[in-house]
Amino acid sequence: MQPIGIFDSGYGGLTIMQEIVKKLPQYDYIYVGDNARSPYGSRSFETVYRYTLEAVKWLFAQDCHLVILACNTASAKALRTIQQNDLPKIAPNKRVLGIIRPVTECIGNFSKTNNIAIFATSGTVSSNSYPIEIEKFFPNVKVEQEACPLWVPLVENGEYDSPGADFFIKKHIDALMSRNNKVDTFVLGCTHYPLLFSKISKYTPEGVKIVSQGNIVAESLSKYLQNHPEMDEKVTKTGKRYFCTTESADIFNRLASDLYGSPIEGKQISLEKPEKLKYFI
Ligand code: DGL
């Protein structure tokens, strides 16, 4: 068993995994949500880097050769250091990919006014990863960012559909539009946000497109595997899915199943001990 590893701070990466599995059902996957330490969004660079590296090492210990950081905060704060400093030392033939780059490569094509908004965690916004990357591909696009620190806790606490969520969603959309009313494309730059989609669309001005990352990331992974047959060969293809969490499995299973849209039986793991679990053999 040599699955593709998918990592997020909590439940949000399930929205990415859903799209990846839809597009590439033949592969095996292990999902890891660090729910016990989520949210990552307001944590320091060092902390997000340390937690993410632990998760990557743990997934490598389960024989993953390819790991997707299905978390913008981890992609913004930890990916580059892991790719440049850690991988050459710990696993030169393994790969870790993030989810910001695939979006920035195509997002300029969605906007007619060349004005795009990124809604994300404080960590992703302060890293400036989106504006820096978008500028490389679409230098004429103006990028507005809005940090929404309470949107992830609404999801992690199962409040994503509650009336209380409306207040915080409207607040950030209004704040962004009042800074730049030419924006015609919203990027949900946090993997938790698709779970707030119906409320976000309720407060989105007419004519503005809402772009989630899932299918963009799935498309990009599919191309990556086509272009890297040496990696494609290493990933096993028996259609298995495993779900792991650093929280109690009972707590995880309930919300994860709701969010994923089919029953999930997760297993509680500890990221500090990167040993191979029998469960995955
Ligand atoms: N879902 C993650 C992201 O895409 C992070 C959420 C968090 O832990 O703050 O940014």
The whole-model pTM stands at: 0.94
- Nearest residue (CA) to ligand 1, atom 2: 71
Does residue 277 register a pLDDT over 90?
no
pLDDT digits (tens, 9 = 90+) for 186-219: 999 999 999 999 999 999 999 999 999 999 999 9
- The confidence band for 263, taking pLDDT boundaries of 50, 70 and 90, is very high
Does residue 281 register a pLDDT over 90?
no
Burial of 265 (0-12, 13-18, 19+ CB in 10 A): exposed
Can you give the residue ranges of every domain in the chain? 4-98+215-280, 101-212
Catalytic residues: 71, 190
Regarding the beta carbon of 127 and ligand 1, being less than 6 Å apart is answered: no
Q: Which pLDDT score, from 0 to 100, does residue 272 have? A: 87
Sign, CA dihedral 70-73-74-76, equals positive
Residue with tokens 């030419």: 182
Q: Are 137 and 105 in contact (CB under 8 A)?
A: yes
Q: Please provide the CATH number assigned to the domain covering 101-212.
A: 3.40.50.1860
Burial of 19 (0-12, 13-18, 19+ CB in 10 A): buried
Query: At CA 185, angle to CA 127 and CA 79, rounded to 5?
Result: 25
- Nearest residue (CA) to ligand 1, atom 9: 41
Q: How far is the CA of 151 from the centre of ligand 1 (A)?
A: 10
Regarding the beta carbon of 40 and ligand 1, being less than 6 Å apart is answered: yes
Lowest mean pLDDT among 40-49, 77-86, 152-161, 237-246: 152-161
Pairwise CA distance, residues 102 & 98, whole Å: 8
pLDDT digits (tens, 9 = 90+) for 107-156: 999 999 999 999 999 999 999 999 999 999 999 999 999 999 999 999 98
Percent of the residues in the chain that have a pLDDT greater than 90, as a whole number: 90
Tally of residues, the chain = 281
Regarding the beta carbon of 12 and ligand 1, being less than 6 Å apart is answered: yes
Find the DSSP H helices in the chain.
Answer: 13-23, 45-61, 72-77, 79-81, 87-90, 101-106, 122-127, 129-137, 151-156, 163-179, 197-202, 214-227, 229-234, 249-260
Specify the CATH class of 4-98+215-280 in words.
alpha beta
Fold: same for 4-98+215-280 and 101-212: yes
Regarding the beta carbon of 217 and ligand 1, being less than 6 Å apart is answered: no
Which residues lie closer than 8 Å to 276 by C-beta, 6 or more apart?
A: 61, 62, 63
pLDDT digits (tens, 9 = 90+) for 21-46: 999 999 999 999 999 999 999 899 99
